[in-house]
Amino acid sequence: MKLLVRNLSRSTTEQEIRILFSTHGSVTECNLVLDQVTGKSKGFAFVEMPNEKEAQSAMKTLHETRVANNRIRVKIAQS
């Protein structure tokens, strides 16, 4: 299941996101979207979790939680 994580702090790293979601299960892919010109975070990422139950748990638990002073939003990514 592919999740969209929005409203990330510009200082949050891909590794921090992976660790955050790994506490809820296996993460196969984590992509922090970067601005091509500046190389800085655009404030959102995609996280792929192969187990749907783990992904649902991560989404339910992490949605609206604070990460680096930002209240993140987690939902299923549109394909």
pLDDT tens figures, 9-46:
999 999 999 999 999 999 999 999 999 999 999 999 99
pLDDT for 18 equals 97
Band of residue 3 on the pLDDT scale cut at 50, 70, 90? very high
pLDDT at 79 over 80: no
- Determine the structural domain holding residue 11 and report its residue range: 2-76
In the chain, pLDDT over 90 holds for what percent of residues? 97
Per the structure, the count of domains in the chain is 1
Question: What is the DSSP-derived secondary structure letter of residue 73?
Answer: E
User: Domain of 55: which CATH number?
Assistant: 3.30.70.330
Long-range contacts (CB closer than 8 Å, 24 or more residues apart) made by 11-14: 11/41, 11/68, 12/41, 12/67, 12/68, 12/70, 14/45
Up-side HSE of residue 59: CA atoms within 13 Å toward CB? 18
* β-pair partners for 47: 3, 30
Q: What average pLDDT does the chain have?
A: 96
